[in-house]
A = this chain, B = another copy of it.
Amino acid sequence: MGSPKRTTIYDVAREAGVAASTVSRAFSNPRRVNRATREHVHAAAERLGYRPSPLASALQSGRTATIAMLVPDITNPHFFGAIRGAEGRARQADLTFILSNTEESAAKEQDQIERLSRSVDGFVLAASRLPGGAVTDLARDHNLALVNREVEGIPSAVVDNDSGTGQIVDHLASLGHRSLVYLSGPQQSWSAGRRWKALRSAASEHGMAAERLGPFPPTTDAGGAAADAALARDATALVAHNDLLAIGVLKRLAERDVGVPEKASVVGYDNIFGADLCVPSLTTLAGPGDHAGRAAVELLLRGGARSGTLTDPHRVVLPSHLVIRDSTGPPPVTGRSRRLLH
């Protein structure tokens, strides 16, 4: 493959009768060259079908016009919004977008950053599994922006789960639930910890009992175990770490003939595709994932550590809202005194 020889700035320079440097500037720094000359050069380039080599450019300038996004699991619908948003924003900014899967592993994440480091201007870390300290360290040498994760001093865009979690608890409380269980996500998941804290404090404000079960992998498959664990607690309100897990829970409850929402209410996070398709449809916290992705790229563009000191890292918090569907309702009339399974 590949034509024998790609045309270079030198070819264009010859064709246009100017120096190579002028050609370079005509493209990368247009205002540095006289308009007439510039147009002349562009015409010559056009004629020759010239395409600049991003590699050569990057090698010399240090700017790659490329950003990478690292995601724990690209197949998790939770991230689709963010990926889509980031990709779109990158495209707008004329940046090449690299997507990489870290397989829920902090080590792989770190390794990816290390190896992409030279070929990329910055990283968007979605729900990074890295411990905060590691992120801070990395930020010293790399341009970072976080999605749905916050680390002191690092720019980030997060969906406001704290207030969202409050909405969930309000909803549950207003339906009459007196307690809830949280079916927790992965241990290293920042959101998981965060949600549990918010859940607990919101619950106590309403005088509700809250218990945390798990951790469970954030997948539908894990829903079985999660549901069983909840049933063993006689829970009437189950808040799952995310919709995938919630949907799995729904399945399992159906198998065990526990009516939803009559016997138990289920809530998820993310409002993924499918949340409105399952039966019963899922009450879930919807957040603008795509905005978060977009915002993170924006932050990267604004320069991360490049733009002066690290003292004013930007922090974007996006509002979330509860989408109430059919998986939540009042607790069983006889309440906590009766077991769910007769």
Chain A residues within CB distance 8 Å of chain B: 1-3, 6, 51-56, 58-59, 62, 64, 74-75, 77, 80, 83-84, 87-88, 91, 96-101, 114-119, 139-143, 247, 273-274, 277-279, 304-306
Contacts and interface: CB of A to CB of B under 8 A. Distances in A.
Nearest to A81: B75
A273 B77 contact: yes
Contacts of A101: 84, 87-88, 91
B51 A114 contact: yes
B1 A141 contact: yes
Given A1-B140, A273-B273, A279-B279, 9 more contacts: A54-B119, A55-B59, A55-B64, A59-B59, A87-B100, A91-B101, A96-B119, A247-B277, A277-B277
A68 B247 CA distance: 33
A339 B280 CA distance: 31
A217 to B, nearest CB: 16
A247 B52 CA distance: 45
Contacts of A55: 55, 58-59, 64, 118-119
The 5 closest A-B pairs by CB, nearest first: A274-B274, A277-B278, A99-B99, A1-B305, A53-B118
A304 B1 CA distance: 8
Contacts of A97: 98-100
A275 to B, nearest CB: 9
Contacts of A77: 273
Contacts of A140: 1
Most buried by B among A2, A101, A117, A277: A277
A62 B5 CA distance: 11
A283 to B, nearest CB: 15
B75 A80 contact: yes
A84 B91 contact: no
Contacts of A117: 51
A55 B3 CA distance: 21
A51 B118 contact: yes
19 contacts: A1-B141, A1-B143, A1-B304, A3-B141, A53-B59, A55-B55, A55-B64, A55-B118, A55-B119, A56-B59, A74-B84, A75-B80, A77-B273, A87-B101, A96-B98, A96-B119, A97-B99, A273-B274, A279-B279
